[in-house]
Amino acid sequence: MTARLRPELADLPAYTPGKTVPGAIKIASNETVHGPLPSVRAAIEKATDNINRYPDNGYVELREHLAKHVNFSPEHISVGCGSVSLCQQLIQITSTVGDEVLFGWRSFEIYPLQVRTAGATPVQVPLTDHTYDLDAMLAAITDRTRLIFVCNPNNPTSTVVDPEQLARFVEAVPSDILIAIDEAYVEYIRDGLLPDSLGLAHNHANVVVLRTFSKAYGLAGLRIGYAVADPDIITALGKVYVPFTATSVSQAAAIACLDAADELLARTDAVVAERARVTAALLDAGYTVPPSQANFVWLPLPGRAQEYARAAADSRIIVRPYGEDGVRVTVAAPHENDMFLEFARNWIRDA
């Protein structure tokens, strides 16, 4: 007997992670090049003493630390197994069959998959100049819109929206529609483009800010993120949360990271400097490169993205293609960036 699965799953593609190839440099998944600080490593090791016990499902200590970090009270904080799990929970608490979830496109690949899994309809609003077009998103709102994702900086195109435009957008969206500002790469924003997203969440009960420890804090392998929102939203998120998904080890590591936040975030300056160097070299070589505010750059390569990724792989360099739209390249260690730039110059010269 064959199990009867949901028929719509047949047309649902699986999420595609960045490839790992032994012996190659992987600049496909936006991971930090830095390992954990000694204090974080010590906290991880200490937490293993009690892994025979279930983790704190209420995240009491971590929520208290996060509350101080973002200047909110703990009841405004929810914790998840990476911010991606919180994206799914937001869809679950807002949207079902017949409802619509809005986001720019191209953007975080998991959005349409999670929306379709919930039975809702993803509404993809085309980007303008590789950036979320907030005016177009306002125009796309209907009476069926329940949730809006604003990925800022946008993954994979690396761009940010103007902070003042974001504030006006939040004011213009009907208050019964939830707005999720997804800030996985917020720590890399410079040039006066950092939005007051937490202020927007403080002043608007329909705004949720999503952040993660996977990128700047270097805990991608431990899977932990958080949401800042109105307590009623936090309560609803708890109703669809899969218990115990953020482990005791990941909680301890996150707390240790917050205690060492100044040191960890100082590391982002080195990434930003390399980002500027890589961008300048690519522009000089003849590439189009949108202004990045993340720890990666986006190369629009319409019709040639897969070819580019294959050629890079032949040179033992793993980048991330997105269909035939373009390629995302993580800003890595200087010597890895040099290897990529050598390939990039050769490819565009030969092309």
Instruction: Report, as an integer, the average pLDDT of 247-256.
Output: 98
Residue 13 is predicted with a pLDDT of 85
Residue 22 is predicted with a pLDDT of 78
Please, what is the Cα angle at 148 between 268 and 167, to 5 degrees?
65
Domain that holds residue 17: 7-30+262-350
Instruction: Report, as an integer, the average pLDDT of 325-335.
Output: 98
Q: Identify whether residues 298 and 192 lie together within a single domain.
A: no
> Is the pLDDT at 1 greater than 70, yes or no?
no
Instruction: Report, as an integer, the average pLDDT of 221-225.
Output: 97
Given the structure tokens 């997105």, which residue do they identify?
Answer: 322
Q: Identify whether residues 160 and 227 lie together within a single domain.
A: yes
**Whole-Å CA distances, 319 to 24, 68, 214, 238, 308:** 10, 37, 19, 36, 9
Q: Identify whether residues 336 and 241 lie together within a single domain.
A: no
Q: Residue 234 domain-assigned?
A: yes
Span of 27-36, 126-135, 225-234 with lowest mean pLDDT: 27-36
φ, ψ at 122 (rounded to 5°): -80, 135
At 151, is the secondary structure helix, strand, or coil?
A: strand
Final residue of a domain: which of 261, 290, 323? 261
> Is the pLDDT at 51 greater than 70, yes or no?
yes
Q: Identify whether residues 271 and 124 lie together within a single domain.
A: no
**Whole-Å CA distances, 131 to 78, 93, 103, 162, 227:** 28, 27, 11, 10, 23
Residue 17 is predicted with a pLDDT of 73
In the predicted model, what is the mean pLDDT of the chain? Answer: 97
Q: Residue 162 domain-assigned?
A: yes
Residue 21 is predicted with a pLDDT of 74
β pairing state of 317-318 and 25-26: parallel
CATH of the domain at 135: 3.40.640.10
CATH of the domain at 311: 3.90.1150.10
Q: Identify whether residues 187 and 323 lie together within a single domain.
A: no
Q: Identify whether residues 46 and 167 lie together within a single domain.
A: yes
Res. 38 pLDDT band, cuts 50 70 90: very high
- Note the pLDDT tens digit of each residue in 59-92: 999 999 999 999 999 999 999 999 999 999 999 9
How many Cβ atoms are within 10 Å of 206's Cβ, its own excluded?
20
Residue 12 is predicted with a pLDDT of 85
Residue 7 is predicted with a pLDDT of 86
Q: Residue 1 domain-assigned?
A: no
Q: Identify whether residues 71 and 217 lie together within a single domain.
A: yes
Domain total in the chain = 2
- Note the pLDDT tens digit of each residue in 259-271: 999 999 999 999 9
